[in-house]
Amino acid sequence: MQEKKRGLNILLNRLKKRKLCKKIFLLTTLAVFLSVISITGAVVLSNLFDGGTSKALTFSQAGNQTSYIKLPENANVTNSEFKLRGLIYEVASLFQTITQSDFNEGTYNDTFYNATENYVQINLSYNSGNYTSKILDTGWNSSYQNLSWNEQRIQCPEGMAYINKLNGFCIDKYEATCQYPNGTYCVSNSAVETDNLLSNNARAASALNKTVWVYIDQAEARTACSNAGKHLCTDEEWLAAANIQGNFYDLAADLAADPYGCVTGSSTYCLDNSPGNGEACQTGCNVNGCPSGCHSAEGVYDMVGNVWEWTNESVDVINPQGNETIGTGVAGYYFPNSTQGWQTSTSTATERYGNDAVFFPTTSTDKGVIRGGVWNTESKAGPFCATLSNSPGSIVSAFGFRCCIS
């Protein structure tokens, strides 16, 4: 059922409710959500538990890689009592993607970093404390008692990422590309070609360095997702997954700049690369190569820029300068501000939302919600960026989509 909303105030309300994913919290009570990092010889909890949900674990002295803990991708540790007999180490030199500075910049609570010996140490003035990090190693013999964990609610297929919000769901890592049932990739260069592709059961696929599927309207995007056993992402799912390297508030206005490289302007777009002589780059890429830095903490690419993305929602739009009378107000970009209002230019009040903008038509009915920005939205693009000016049947070279499973 299409949910009608007044303006786009829902955008602000929902994003206020976001919560950062849990990392590792250590000492008397430990609550963890740990992303998988490949470690040779790591202890995998799913193997240790033998299908159970709880087990007392003892690990040997640091220096042996099997002393490391690696959670499987579907593990969500919810509770633990930790009995410390040594110190907590993280040996950054063992990992290509983890640096010493990552370790040093961990979050400390009643603990401190021993810069001489390079480890996290308990403050002896306290009976408990914690350190937030990504990888654990135990110095000397230490034991975890009653380490409890549960499965992700759903397992994500290849090309999708798990989002631990809204009761858990999967979202495509990349903007949709076209794929035939036999696995061969395809490209749509017109509305007619999209019709033909869907009549042959073409489906939405998610893969790095592929041509984005454009020239598709909202209903057809639903069909393409359904053909893949998924659904077009709801507006709520899209917003829940939208962040840039873990951040969604107070982002830089120019997300084309390093370290992000989002496809939002001439410094990163790919000239005449996409269907209809569009400037969209291949999925997950920018003009400088693949993959770009324009990804979420969960590894979802291009939710900012490249092509606009349909969500599975349409709205009745009341222009911020108008009223409920059709045709009132002034069409154009409006910026959400820190007082939960809208303004027509940027200021310190819009920096909280990265100076992202939403395009409002005059007061209208039945407009599709399209998010994220496109290759030339420049500083207006971001997690809060949207356009509300198009009907659900609009078909252009700048509109794409992605799919979800819930």
Residue 123 has pLDDT above 80, yes or no: no
Per-residue pLDDT tens digits for 260-296: 999 999 999 999 999 999 999 999 999 999 999 999 9
Does the pTM exceed 0.75?
Answer: no
Contact 355, 253 (CB under 8 A): yes
Same domain, 230 and 369: yes
Domain end point (choices 124, 151, 178):
151
Per-residue pLDDT tens digits for 203-240: 999 999 999 999 999 999 999 999 999 999 999 999 99
Sequential DSSP letters for 221-260: HHHHHHHTT-EEPPHHHHHHH--BTTB-SS--S-TTSTTT
In whole angstroms, what is the distance from residue 106 CA to residue 344 CA?
40
In whole angstroms, what is the distance from residue 232 CA to residue 219 CA?
9
CB atoms within 10 A of CB 61: 14
Same domain, 143 and 186: no
Same domain, 177 and 241: yes
Return the top range by mean pLDDT from 106-120, 239-253, 366-380: 366-380
Same domain, 181 and 329: yes
Same domain, 189 and 322: yes
CB-based burial label for 334 (10 Å; 0-12, 13-18, 19+): buried
Contact 185, 210 (CB under 8 A): yes
Residue 48 has pLDDT above 90, yes or no: no
**364-371: strand order across its sheet:** 342-343, 332-336, 358-360, 386-387, 364-371, 308-317, 399-401
pLDDT attached to residue 153 = 72
Same domain, 293 and 326: yes
For residue 121, being part of any structural domain is answered with: yes
CATH number assigned to the domain comprising residue 346: 3.90.1580
Token reading at 196 = 């033909």
Same domain, 196 and 89: no
For residue 13, being part of any structural domain is answered with: no
Contact 21, 248 (CB under 8 A): no
Domain span at residue 82 reads 22-151
In whole angstroms, what is the distance from residue 68 CA to residue 275 CA?
48
78 falls in which pLDDT band (50, 70, 90)? Answer: very low
Q: Within its chain, how far is the Cα of 62 from the centroid?
A: 34
Residue 356 has pLDDT above 70, yes or no: yes
Same domain, 84 and 229: no
Domain end point (choices 119, 151, 183):
151
Residue 14 has pLDDT above 80, yes or no: no
Domain end point (choices 104, 128, 151):
151
Contact 393, 364 (CB under 8 A): no
Same domain, 120 and 208: no
- Residues 323, 329, 333, 334, CA torsion sign: negative
For residue 175, being part of any structural domain is answered with: yes
Same domain, 92 and 207: no
Total domains in the fold of the chain = 2
164 falls in which pLDDT band (50, 70, 90)? Answer: confident
Residue 139 has pLDDT above 90, yes or no: no
For residue 6, being part of any structural domain is answered with: no
Higher pLDDT, 128 or 20: 128
244 falls in which pLDDT band (50, 70, 90)? Answer: very high
For residue 4, being part of any structural domain is answered with: no
pLDDT attached to residue 114 = 53
Residue 120 has pLDDT above 80, yes or no: no
Same domain, 178 and 261: yes
Sequential DSSP letters for 2-71: PPP-STTHHHHHHHHT--PPP-B--SSS--B-------TT-EEHHHHHTT-SEEEEEE--TTSGGGSEE-
Residue 303 has pLDDT above 90, yes or no: yes
For residue 26, being part of any structural domain is answered with: yes
Same domain, 244 and 277: yes
Q: Please, how many CA atoms are within 13 Å of residue 123, restricted to the half-sphere of its CB?
A: 12
Mean residue pLDDT across the chain: 75
Which DSSP helix (H) or strand (E) runs through 191?
helix 191-199
For residue 15, being part of any structural domain is answered with: no
For residue 7, being part of any structural domain is answered with: no
